[in-house]
Structures are given as structure tokens and as C-alpha cells.
Amino acid sequence: HPTLAVSRAALLPPPGGPGDAAGQTLPVESRPFTSYGSALHIALPQAPRAGQLLTLLIDYEAGEGPGVCWLSPEQTAGKQKPYMYTQGQAVLNRSFFPCFDTPSVKFTYSATVKVPEGFTAVMSATSWEKQKDNTFVFKMSQPIPSYLIALVVGDIVSADVGPRSRVWAEPCLIEAAKKEYDGVIEEFLVVGEKLFGPYVWGRYDILFMPPSFPFGGMENPCLTFVTPCLLAGDRSLVDVIIHEISHSWFGNLVTNATWGEFWLNEGFTMYAQRRISTEVYGLPYTCLEAATGRALLRQHMDATGEDHPLNKLRVVIEPGVNPDDTYNETPYEKGYCFVSYLAHLVGNQSKFDAFLQAYVNRFKFQSITADDTLGFFLEYFPELKEKGVDSIPGFEFDRWLNMPGWPPYLPDLSPGQQLMRPAEELAELWAADSLNMEAIEAVDIMGWRTYQLVYFLDQVLQKSPLPEGNVKRLSKMYPKISKAQNAELRLRWCQIVLKNNLEAEYSKVKDFLHSQGKQKYTLPLYRAMWAGSEATRALAMETFSATAPQLHVNVQNYVKKILGLAAAE
């Protein structure tokens, strides 16, 4: 049933011109389109001229759609008051307001939002002011695609963390949010501007969402939405923030014209994130983080089969297929490899950085295709075009875009070896039939950074199930890991617990799934439980029936599909 009901449409007289202020009522009809939306047809009195400005008024009511999430008090961190947020990407904002819901169309917007006493509204807008009667007025002065319009209403407060940044959160989280991000945002913005050109959005604020938010982050302009899992207490998960900041140039400023070329948003953003990370944290650490990304791509391709059609950079989304159902690691990590390959062809980092800046400047506020991107690349480097770099056998641009499978080129991550090798060696020691405790005790992991521990756990997971008793000893020896509060560590520890049937710690899996509802943490754990024993399947059913109400509806459907409970809608 439609989640957005249109009651009336009218053509308003031109601003300042003569005519009835109520406008001329127009015939409206809703026509079938796909399972995830219908087409709104409005008949104009006469065909408009090219370039003519029309003012349409549409009266509508919305609220039950998949793009609008209503949380009960128990789904929030504070557990006192309800909360609502919208999530537009990819095609959900059509359930929030009538729009051209495609990334190929960009527009400015303004909004007036009246909320009950005791609540605050925030939006992805360049300016907002609070007026009387708990009314908030927002304006976005730069053109953006529909999926980047976002609204939150809740019991939220803010704290400054930089000259153009503040954090927003429920009152019970605001201290932790301020502590985690005070002073760090500006450093990332400054490096981003140095690399990619001016930051055009004015403010960069961060909103910490309730635990049920299904994503790590959503790059809504001026106001990134992030999971509260980022409040790790040790600043170890800021790479997610660097990723969302990078979208300020790649995705929000230069946008994929279709969801089939999502890599133009995400591949470039992964590359930009790792450029900023290299400047701030150095190459070894960034290579280590990129190696964990490559491991995710490997896991994804092993699960789907390399030649699965989703493992192409240019995905053919058939009419009627919901773009959200094509979401996977490929546009991120294979896209990153392709952008790295372009940099490799150039062979000089500062020249490639200059190209990225020119690319952003050329296509800012536009929506483009891969042909635009690659055409501009060859135009910018005529000597490469001359050499025919777009058709080097095995590395043809066409093959990158249209052939599924593992990336033809992988950037060199060997600078990360100094951090990776100790983790690989330690994982080897733990996988042995008889444990060499002397060698194990000689390795001090207390000084390791989070991603080094993540990499170690990925290695242990690959070698699992370990010989009988080893995981139990590992758990006891490293409380830093087995009792971690950091979500990236908890995810991997839970995967290890399940793969090794460590029943004594099944409760940790349950606790983690109760504590948050992020899709990238939730689905792998349900897949692992479902692929395991009777006991883990029972754990999956029990956990899901307890936590389903606090999950985002999309995530609920994906879990149901894994557990064979219902056809995913």
C-alpha cells in the first residue's frame, strides 16, 4: 500500500505575478512503477516551454514509509523519549516527500519543521534556525540529489568540537561524543581541502544515532549520521568519519548519475579516505586498514562466487530491481582498486592528487557516469591517452567496468607488512596443534592499534576452527580482545566464537546483537549462526525474536531471509 498519500496538486502563479494564490488545481494520478514506489503523474494545463520555471504545490501526508524510521523510547540510548529519522539512500526518500528520486537530478531545498516541546529537529542543510513555537527552519543552498535530504527529530543536544563542527547526540551520549571527536574533525577537513579542494558545505557536524541505526555512517551533507558504535572510547574508529568526510567531495559534490555506477561514489571515497589517512596516520597504518578492506572483498567474493554479476563495477540494475538489494563490498573495494590503478598509470602521487582536484572542480554539483570520469582522465593526461592505457590487455577500462571478478590490479600494501607480519605470526602460533606458550607470551599485543588486532582476528578466523581448546586459552589470555567494547573487535570475536563452537561465550554474540543493529555487523553474525550447529541456529532464532523490533525494517527483512523465515520483501 502506498506510504505517501497525495491529496492535491496545484500550479501556483509565478512569484510576484498575478493569479490566484491558492493556485490552479491539477489532476493527479498514481501509476504502478515497481515494488518500491509508484509514479506520481500530474497533468499540466498546457505544455511548458523549455527553461520555463513552474511552481507546483503538492499537499501530501507521509510517515509510514521505509525511508521514515520511528523509534520507540526503548530503541534509543536514553530510553525516555521517542525518536524519528529519515534514511534516503538509495531510493527511500520517495516515501518521505514527492521528488525526482534519482541521483541524476540535483536541487536546493528549504524546510520548516514544527516539533513537540522537548524535541529538537536537525536536517542536512547549510543553515538552520530555531524560531518560536518549537519551529525550525532549514535551507540547503547547494544543489544535492534527493537521497541526501535527511531529517532527525529527537531529544538531542550538541557540543562544539571544532571551528566548523559540532557533535549532536542524546544527552546521555554527548560527553562521550565530545571527548571522542574534540579537535580531530578539523584536522581531517583541512587535509581533505588540501588534497581535493575547498570544502563547500559550510559546517561539518556529526549526529550520533540511536543504536538501531543500520549503517556505520550516512554522509548527509553538513550533518553526517553515524552509528554510536564509533564511540569506542579510544578514537580507534575514526576512519569511518574520514570516509564520510571524503564524501564531501566524492558522492555529495560529484555524484553517480545512476546506482549501477555506485563505485563512482564509493571507490573514489575509499581512495580519498586512504589518502587522508596516509597524510594523518602514515602509510603503514593505512595499508593495514586497506588490507582489512581487501579481506572483506575476498570474503564477499568467496560467498557469492567471483563471477556473480554484482561483482562488476558497472552493475546492470534491471527495471524493477531495488538498487538497495545490489549493495555489497564491490563498489567500495574493487572501486578503490580501480582508482588506485588509475593512480598507478599516472605513476606520481602529487600529479594524481592534482588530477583529483581538477576532476572535482570540473564535475562539482553534477551527476556523472563512468564514461565522464574516464574520458576526463584521458583528456587530463593526453600522454596516457596517446599510449592507449584504456586498452592494455588484461587491464582494459572496459574489463574493469563490465567483467565480474577479482580486481585485475591490486595496489601494493607491503608498507603495512611491519604491522601485519607480527599479527600473521601470532595467528600461526595460535593455530598450532600444541601451543608454544613461550613464543606466544613473548608477543605483547597491548601496544597494538585496533586495526592490527582486527587483522590478527581476521587471520585467526580464516584458520578456524582451531585445534580443541586453543580459542578458550586465547580468550583467557587476551581479555583486551575477548572482553573488548570496540565494535570491530566484538564482531570478529563473535565470529570466532561461532566458528569454533565456543558455547561458553555464545552469550557475547547475543549481547553484541542486542547492543546495536548495524547491518555490516548483524548480517554476518546471523549467517555464521545459521551455517553452524543446532545450538547456534537456536541462538539465532532466540536473538532475532528478542531484537527484531529494534532493527531497521530492511535489516529485519535481510535477517528473515537468512533464517528462512519469510521471502525478503
Q: Which residues are annotated as a binding site for Zn(2+)?
A: 243, 247, 266
d(CA 409, CA 394): 9
What does the alpha-carbon distance between residue 201 and residue 199 come to, in Å, rounded to a whole number? Answer: 6
Helical residues (DSSP H) of 10-126, grouped into ranges: none
Rounded-to-integer distance, Cα 536 and Cα 274, Å: 37
Q: Which residues are annotated as a binding site?
A: 87-89, 214-219, 243, 247, 266, 518-520
Whether 285 is a known active-site residue: answer no
Nearest to 172 by CA among 160, 184, 155: 155
Distance (Å, whole) CA 330 – CA 336:
9
Contact by Cβ (8 Å): 407, 413: no
* Pairing of the two strands 366-368 and 254-256: parallel
Read off the C-alpha cell for 268.
Answer: 573514489
147 tagged catalytic:
no
Site of grid cell 494564490: 21
Cα–Cα distances in angstroms (integers) from residue 476 to residues 328, 453, 469, 481, 486, in the given order:
35, 16, 11, 9, 18
H or E element: which one contains 300?
helix 283-304
Of 244, 289, 329, 505, which one is the catalytic site residue? 244
Q: Which residues are annotated as a binding site for a peptide?
A: 87-89, 214-219, 518-520
**Which residue out of 83, 85, 327, 332 is catalytically annotated?**
332
The residue written with cell numbers 579516505 in the block is 273
Q: Strand locations in 297-400, DSSP E?
A: 366-368
Q: Is 241 helix (H, G, I), strand (E, B) or coil?
A: helix
Q: Of 366, 394, 392, 362, whose CA–CA distance to 377 is shortest?
A: 362
Task: Round to whole Å and give the CA distance between 462 and 455.
Answer: 11
With contact defined as beta carbons under 8 Å apart, do 545 and 513 qualify? no
Name every residue whose Cβ is closer than 8 Å to that of residue 463 and which is 6 or more positions away in sequence: 427, 430, 431
Full 3-state SS string of 136-200: EEEEEEEEEEHHHCCEEEECCEEEEEECCEEEEECHHHHHHHHHHHCCHHHHHHHHHHHHHCCCC
Cα of first residue to Cα of last residue in the chain, in angstroms, is: 13
Strands 205-208 and 165-169, how do they pair? parallel
Sorted by sequence, the CB contacts under 8 Å of residue 303 that are 6+ apart come out as none
Give catalytic residue positions.
244, 332
